Amino acid sequence: MATKAKKASRIEEISKYFLLNLLLSFIGWGYETLLMLFMTGEYQNRGFLSLPLCPIYGGTLMAVYFLFGTPDEARGLLKRVDNPLVRSLIYLTAAFLAPTAAELIVGAYFDKFHGVWLWSYNGLPLNFKGYISLPISVLWAVMIFLFMKFIFPSLKKWIFKIPKTLSIAFAAAFATVVLADFVKSYISIKKLP
């Protein structure tokens, strides 16, 4: 009996983290869309998917969270660091490396295998093949640190208040829709000349 309860609890936890990832991906899409609207004066769907989601945001933030927690809770390696300044510097380094690696890998993949640029830093200083740029990576580090310190904990609490059955049902429904959108979007890219 305890094993069934443990398994059900694990499914609920995975469902809630999946919903949190989707929420972060939506916030990332909103941020990108508003930023481009402000910069260009035109609406641009900044996501790879048809849905209003930028999975690179949700995935990156969740990776930082699972590896290091928030700046205040300090998970994993950070648990061993007592000095708050050193802990913050390590966290900022992780917040620098995670999005930089994600942008480099995802950007290079879509460029090399599909001839598609999802973004380009070509006009910015200290960029590498347009996939990443040092000033942008530093900006990401600061923004991630501040987001994970001040906003993420409240979002996590809010998502984790969703009742078990509802969170599992929402996660299953959203997973189906997002997967279908991903397949549709990926097939569309593969058909590009």
Close Cβ partners of 171 (under 8 Å, ≥ 6 residues apart): 14, 15, 16, 18, 19
Annotated domain spans of the chain: 9-177
pLDDT at 191: 65
Tokens of residue 35, six digits:
């930023």
Q: pLDDT tens digits, residue range 135-180?
A: 999 999 999 999 999 999 999 999 999 999 999 999 999 999 999 9
The span from the CA of 77 to the CA of 92, in Å, is: 14
Q: What percent of the chain has pLDDT over 90?
A: 76
Question: What is the enclosing helix (H) or strand (E) of 127?
Answer: strand 127-128
pLDDT at 85: 94
